[in-house]
Amino acid sequence: MRVSLTLNDSQHARLRDHLFPGDGLEAVALLLCGRALDQGRNRLIVSEVHLIAYERCDRAPDRVTWPTDMLPELLTRASKRGMSLIKIHGHIGYDRFSEIDDASDRELFASVHAWADGPHGSAVMLDGDRMFGRLVSEDGVFSPFACVNVVGDDLRFWPHQESHGQIPDHARRIAQSFGAGTYEILRRLRIGVVGCSGTGSVVVDQLSRNCVAELVLVDPDHVEDKNLNRIVNSRKVDAQQRRLKVELMAESIEELGLGTVVSVFASSLSSADAIRAIASCDVVFGCMDSVDGRHMLNRLATFYGLAYFDLGVKLEADGEGGVDQVCGTVHYLKPGGSSLYSRHVYSMEQVRAAGLMRTDPATYRELRREGYIKGVAEDRPAVIQLNSLIASLAVNELLARLHPFRLDPNEEYAVHAISLSHGIYDHHGDGEPCELLSRHVGRGDVRPLLDMPELSLEAAAA
């Protein structure tokens, strides 16, 4: 079983402060993790951090003995909610599990598995930063985590096995610009792109040319004549044949031949299969106009611990052959931070209206006509030069977080906003954690999916 462990930066900081208090003695904590279980690629996402008080432990420089009286409550919750338990402690200068660790893990996890179905495991934080870990089976077999990663202002990935292969010619400039380490991370990343039209097609093209390992593409629509001015690699014949946008993207990537593997889902994000596929990713780009789609993706990224880049463009025509506004935004959102909702990108009234327009357009139009709901934009003009600008800004934002190259820290760049019509470029940092979404951090697979009743049918059928 290939399993990775994901946590956010505030969780990592709490663990670092607790596991390395400065006295040179080991300390320990327990993590409850949600799960994203997918064929061939499984993720554990930290939801709760439970620090075990120093005074309750027998601590030494190379070992720690701790009370297990909190385990029954935690394992009861884990069993009820389908969660995993991870034990974590710190090592100073010792980058592997010790023989003492092996013996204690075998003893502990035999009992853990008897109480709650796995997977469960053990992890080590090394000198307050890098982490590694392993699954521990019921019969004491160890299987290393494929990767441990932290989703924060910076994106950090610590794979179990470093790759030191030769960099191919088509990737040399990527390695020269952002470092060989960044290229190696890109070659391991699985990235979702939801929406493959204007901004989405440019994002997909740029990610594949940056040698990303895997792309998961989600879009239900076909190519139309009105799309040809803004979908990269689209042709007149594609519109005539009403080709699926995701299939067009996949064909273009395959013909490019740089090794990116593509999975396509010709459906909306509300499909259970699409949700699970995006949940198996490390990063997701949202390239949708719909308010309800953006809200759902922000929720999904919170449940499953994903780095989320949201792209928005607006071109407002004045009705007389000119334009009033040409602008775009890129939002970076991390689990446990602020959300599109708390940043006032939309209101819940707009989310409900957009959902009704999608699921029951006749009722939506009637309520809008009667003044019970405010309308949401149904079709917006767009041009490739604006889409390409915003898409490039978003992909560069990913690279900046994998390889921090800015003079200022990444925490100051949670939002980029550009107005070409007004000559404005602005950026600012994250806000307060979103009260609506923060309680869902790391919950992973639940029923109904994302704790949304409207997805209960999809969850039951899957």
How do residues 132-144 score in pLDDT, each as one tens digit? 999 999 999 999 9
Q: Residue 410 and residue 370: Cα distance in Å, rounded?
A: 46
Read off the pLDDT of each residue in 310-339 and give the average, rounded to a whole number.
84
The answer on pLDDT for 99 being more than 90 is yes
Per CATH, the number for 3-159 is 3.40.140.10
Residue intervals in the chain for CATH 3.40.50.720: 169-346+380-461
Residue intervals in the chain for CATH 3.40.140.10: 3-159
* Whole-number pLDDT of residue 381: 61
What own/partner pairs with CB < 8 Å and gap ≥ 24 does 57-61 have? Answer: 57/27, 57/28, 59/25, 59/26, 59/27, 60/25, 60/26, 61/24, 61/25, 61/26, 61/92
Alpha carbons within 13 A on the beta-carbon side of 344? 2
* Whole-number pLDDT of residue 125: 98
* Whole-number pLDDT of residue 453: 86
Confidence of residue 310 (pLDDT cuts 50, 70, 90): very high
Lowest mean pLDDT among 245-249, 380-384, 426-430, 443-447: 380-384
Per CATH, the number for 169-346+380-461 is 3.40.50.720
* Whole-number pLDDT of residue 173: 77
Asked whether the CA dihedral 357, 362, 363, 369 is positive or negative, the reply is positive
* Whole-number pLDDT of residue 460: 41
Q: Which helix (H) or strand (E) holds 345?
A: none
Tokens matching residue 246: 């995701």
Sheet arrangement for strand 424-428: 261-265, 214-218, 190-194, 283-286, 307-317, 323-333, 415-419, 424-428
Burial tier of 354 (Cβ tally within 10 Å: 0-12, 13-18, 19+): buried
* Whole-number pLDDT of residue 457: 47
Confidence of residue 368 (pLDDT cuts 50, 70, 90): low
pTM for the full predicted model = 0.93
pLDDT, averaged across the chain = 91
Q: Residue 395 and residue 313: Cα distance in Å, rounded?
A: 15
Q: Residue 3 and residue 43: Cα distance in Å, rounded?
A: 5
* Whole-number pLDDT of residue 456: 60
Q: Are 277 and 265 in contact (CB under 8 A)?
A: yes
